[in-house]
Amino acid sequence: MRVGFIGLGHQGAPIARRIIGGGFHTTLWARRAETLEPFDGSGASIAATARDLAAAVDLVEVCVVNDADVEQVLAADDGVLAGARPGTVVAIHSTVHPDTCRRMGERAASRAITVIDAPVSGSAVAADAGTLLVMVGGDTATVEACRPVFSTFGHPIIHVGPLGTAQLAKLVNNVLLTANMSMARDAVVLGEALGLDPDKLGEVLEHGTGRSYGLGTWLNVRPSLGSPTTAGTLLRKDVDLLAESARAAGADAGALVTMANRVLTVLGTPPSPTDSATDEAQ
């Protein structure tokens, strides 16, 4: 299988390196040319446009930041869908709205191209180690055809259901992480109010039964309070996407979103006034 990869940022770059290292013929394209420089001598081919990349491969993997980026990379005049041949598969690794994946899937289907959503969870360290969690939404045959490629950078690989369901699973995961961060913050703040050294308390909690991934994330983010954080911005996007999906489904996001919003407000990325009013109504 020939693989094309778009989006060579903090997480995408190590994923691409794992795919190349796995022996797959890989073609790269990036909107920022400087992100291609570390791949000099890697054996990967470089495409001039996303359209050219798509024309040369069987599987296009997209790992850009948000919904607008996904739509631009896929649907622009010189984008992936303009160049992909019938039978090509597009895997969206970005964390975006499930409807974005479904809309791109419908558009691709008119060209006999298949879209699956395959968001990942884990750090760049996990990507380097090949241990990212990969959630996949799409038809079974397509998911299984892509599994050998995904296995170069991910374990486990979980087929969640049809197109869009992997995004929902990733959003629930990320909002639970954010809510756990909120609870971790409350614990540290309470400890300080009781006269405990916050750093020592953090060390205790990381080794105690109350530990969680959210606790470790909060302890890492806490020293940068007062400055904008990438984590806060990305998690704000995910909380908003889940809240919107829950409203559309008539589901109660309840305390999960409320707790997540508390810590994101501390991180300088509060919900919009409209979203705040909706949370209070729930």
Strand runs labelled E in the chain:
3-6, 26-29, 45-46, 59-62, 89-92, 114-117, 120-121, 132-137, 154-161
Residue (of 14, 16, 172) closest to 98 by Cα position:
172
Residue (of 169, 33, 41, 156) closest to 98 by Cα position:
169
Give the Cα separation of 259 and 271 in Å (integer): 12
CB–CB of 247/278 below 8 Å? yes
Place of tokens 């990305």: 234
Q: Is 237 tagged catalytic?
A: no
* DSSP for residue 60: E
Cβ atoms within 10 Å, residue 168: 22
Please tell me which residue in 18, 93, 103, 170 is annotated as part of the active site.
170
Q: Check the CA dihedral 15-16-20-23 and report its sign.
A: positive
- φ/ψ of residue 45, rounded to 5: -85, 155
Alpha helix ranges (H) inside the chain:
12-21, 50-55, 67-75, 80-83, 98-109, 124-129, 140-150, 165-193, 198-207, 213-221, 230-249, 254-266, 273-281
Give the Cα separation of 263 and 160 in Å (integer): 29
CB–CB of 264/178 below 8 Å? yes
Instruction: Provide the annotated active-site residues.
Output: 170
